[in-house]
Structure 1
Amino acid sequence: MTNHRNGWPTREKAFAAFATGPLLAFWQTREEGEFNGVNNIPIRYVRFHAAHHDKVILLSPGRIESYVKYPELAWDLFHCGYDVLIPDHRGQGRSGRLLSDPHRGHVDAFEHYVDDLETLYLKEIVSRPYRHRYALAHSMGGAILTLMLARQPNAFAAVALASPMFGIYLSMPDWVAQRILNWTDKRPGLREGYAPGTGKWRARPFGINDLTHSRERYRRNLRFYADDPQLRVGGPTWHWVREGVQAGKSILSKAKEISTPLLLLQAGEDKVVDNRAQDLFCQAMTAAGQPCEGGKPKVIVGARHEILFEKDSMRAEALDAIVAFFARHP
């Protein structure tokens, strides 16, 4: 495991050779599955398994993402001794869509994401003889996983959240945004329409992206969507934004109910989610006598939103922290 981790800080130097060689061979070992989520929406997922592993990590991706984007992270965790399980959340990736326009990022109720994740947990983790259960989540996936922890405080030995979506950046005061969202939610013509400034999926040049400093990883991830139109998701609907805002408020109110050991990784240059909400969440956990690791978020200085897809130095810092944290909570 140590030898594998030694390569994390320098992988980008030969990224193409790694991605088209060992990583591609690893991806071909995946097991794919499907189950019916809430309202019979098909939920697709992928699993990487080794008979000698007694540890598992449930990985919850962010908005618009598919497990197709996650082979590198799965490779790293797998070679640290973990089985890895990754779903495509409803409305994205290879799971079922909810609207006739498949590009619209939509959910009827945010809790449906949580219901689906809990179903997968019961189906593929509880039913198997794992001795150690962990979870890792990014962005929207962090909000979903955190709400699941409020339901299932003993589901995992420890959990790591990377840039969790506990608050969304809005271009207006919260009270104004809430009034507008409540107004649009009562109007079907707007409710399922794209939120302002968004639309169908389109490729954005690396130079203007707010997600990562890693040119190699950004271009690779962009190719997944460019090459497979089925994976594309564009902007969120008005209703999704409202559900996301409400989910953040629910998470802050339920922080006191979360007793699972928790590491929160915060991107120092995040322009997608509101880091202040992450700070408030850790403060609420501390006030309840169950502080997150270190009592506050661990800031990855200089990182953009996608910490787990950042350039080598930042990504390695995050992965080292995650693996070490899990090792302290067997």
Structure 2
Amino acid sequence: MQVDLLDERHYSQAMRKTVLPALDACRSEGWFTASAGSHDLHHHDPGKIHYVCFDAHAFDALHISGATAIFRGAVVISHGLTEFAEKFNELAWYFLLAGYSVCIIEHRGHGQSARDVADPDLVWIDDWNRYAEDMSYFCSQIAQEYADGLPLCLFAHSMGGGIGAAVLEQRPTIFDKAVLSSPMIAPRTGLPNWLAAAFVSSACAAGFSKRMAPGQRPFVASARVQDVENVSASRANWFHALRMNNMRRHTSAPTYGWVRESLKLSHSVLQPGMCARIETPVLVFQSGNDDYVLNPPQNRFVQQVRDGGCPAELIRVDNGPHELYSMPNPAMGPYIDRMISFFNDPIRL
């Protein structure tokens, strides 16, 4: 399926006048507490996980030009490190046009979800399994309702891709299709990851768990992207403006504790026995110019999923940026089309 991409020359105008009003008309939000096994759809609690959903039926009632008007299920979006729900509004728009409801979870330490550090710049987690538990609960108890008996698909980027891979292994029947985009199967730390694991574990033991990790920096309000290679300046500047508008979107740096847990997650999802548990067809998009995650572990993950008997395909986007959904339209088009075609293809039993 081909979708009409937003015109980069008039991107902000299209988002404000067309996309956002339509999304607002079919949007709902809520908070839940996964560990308690309950969720509250109306009231914000600082100890809870926030989510945003867009209903395809309400979207179709708007009679948007280009919408398929055929309900196909729901797509869960699992975002990356320091991201937030609103950053994926454009992607949600394309999924809605294709007939899918969209459910976006804001992971712990991000957006409007629970935080355990006072500094709004920092992301910390004490145990990476909490990410997977939150997401499993969200998908099984909330997103499934939006799928309404039809396929529940996953789009997961970077850190969200690592969390998504863990959920695919731990809950093999929760998704019908999964797209992992530049997934954090293993983070890029600047050191061999075995050495980085020893270093950050020692730092955490010394009381630095909630300190900013080496090489990171606080949120920079003046940062703007102009003519960065292989990135749409219109999209990148829109993303930055979203950050500027809300302090809870200023998250910009992982802590020692987060790095420690990201390496533990990587070790877990790359176990051959865990990869063999996956039953969901997987499509992995790999950035050929990735500064944040490592490519070889992605290759290994895909091969091990195949070895376990599950369909898995890797598509390498040569010179693509880490955030593939920020590419200029000539590259963005094939990326979006391939993803939606994958979701639309009949599930082969």
Give the TM-score normalised by structure 1: 0.91
Partner of 1:198: 216
Secondary structure at the aligned position of 1:35 is classed as strand
Question: Number of aligned pairs?
Answer: 321
Is the contact made by 1:167 and 1:274 (CA closer than 8 Å) also made in structure 2? yes
TM-superposed CA distance for 1:207, in Å, is: 4.9
1:165 pairs with 2:184:
yes
TM-superposed CA distance for 1:38, in Å, is: 4.1
Give the TM-score normalised by structure 2: 0.87
Q: Hey, what's the Cα distance between the residues in 2 that align with 1:273 and 1:27?
A: 31
1:320 pairs with 2:337:
yes
Per-residue CA distance 1:291-312 (angstroms, 9 max, x = gap): 412xxx2011221000112111
Partner of 1:306: 323
Q: Hey, what's the Cα distance between the residues in 1 that align with 2:263 and 2:346?
A: 32
Partner of 2:164: 145
Q: Hey, what's the Cα distance between the residues in 2 that align with 1:65 and 1:205?
A: 16
Q: Hey, what's the Cα distance between the residues in 1 that align with 2:172 and 2:194?
A: 32
> Which of residues 32, 35, 42 in structure 2 aligns to 1:35?
32
Q: Hey, what's the Cα distance between the residues in 1 that align with 2:23 and 2:112?
A: 16
Is the contact made by 1:138 and 1:163 (CA closer than 8 Å) also made in structure 2? yes
TM-superposed CA distance for 1:268, in Å, is: 1.3
Correspondence list, 1:187-266, <5 A = 187-188=206-207, 190-203=208-221, 204-207=223-226, 213-253=231-271, 254-266=274-286
Partner of 1:185: 204
Letter in 1 for 2:181: A
Aligned pair in 2 of structure 1 residues 209, 272: CA closer, same or farther (>3 Å)? farther
1:70 pairs with 2:88:
yes
Letter in 1 for 2:215: G
Q: Hey, what's the Cα distance between the residues in 2 that align with 1:181 and 1:173?
A: 12
Secondary structure at the aligned position of 1:28 is classed as helix
RMSD across aligned positions (CA): 2.0
> Which of residues 3, 7, 21 in structure 2 aligns to 1:25?
21
Q: Hey, what's the Cα distance between the residues in 2 that align with 1:50 and 1:137?
A: 20
Letter in 2 for 1:301: D
Partner of 2:294: 274
Partner of 2:12: 16
1:288 pairs with 2:308:
yes
TM-superposed CA distance for 1:290, in Å, is: 2.4
TM-superposed CA distance for 1:200, in Å, is: 2.2
Per-residue CA distance 1:98-120 (angstroms, 9 max, x = gap): 11223211111111011111111
Partner of 2:55: 49
> Which ranges in structure 1 are unaligned for 5 or more consecutive residues?
none
Q: Which runs of 4+ in 1 moved over 6 A?
A: none
Q: Hey, what's the Cα distance between the residues in 2 that align with 1:249 and 1:201?
A: 29
Secondary structure at the aligned position of 1:21 is classed as helix
Is the contact made by 2:34 and 2:138 (CA closer than 8 Å) also made in structure 1? no
Is the contact made by 1:89 and 1:95 (CA closer than 8 Å) also made in structure 2? yes
Letter in 2 for 1:48: F
Is the contact made by 1:41 and 1:90 (CA closer than 8 Å) also made in structure 2? no
Is the contact made by 1:283 and 1:291 (CA closer than 8 Å) also made in structure 2? no
Letter in 1 for 2:19: L
Is the contact made by 1:104 and 1:199 (CA closer than 8 Å) also made in structure 2? no
Per-residue CA distance 1:119-149 (angstroms, 9 max, x = gap): 1112213345232211111111111111111
Between structures 1 and 2, the one with greater helix share: 1
Q: What percent of counterpart residues are identical?
A: 27
TM-superposed CA distance for 1:328, in Å, is: 1.5
Secondary structure at the aligned position of 1:47 is classed as strand
Partner of 1:96: 114
Letter in 2 for 1:110: W
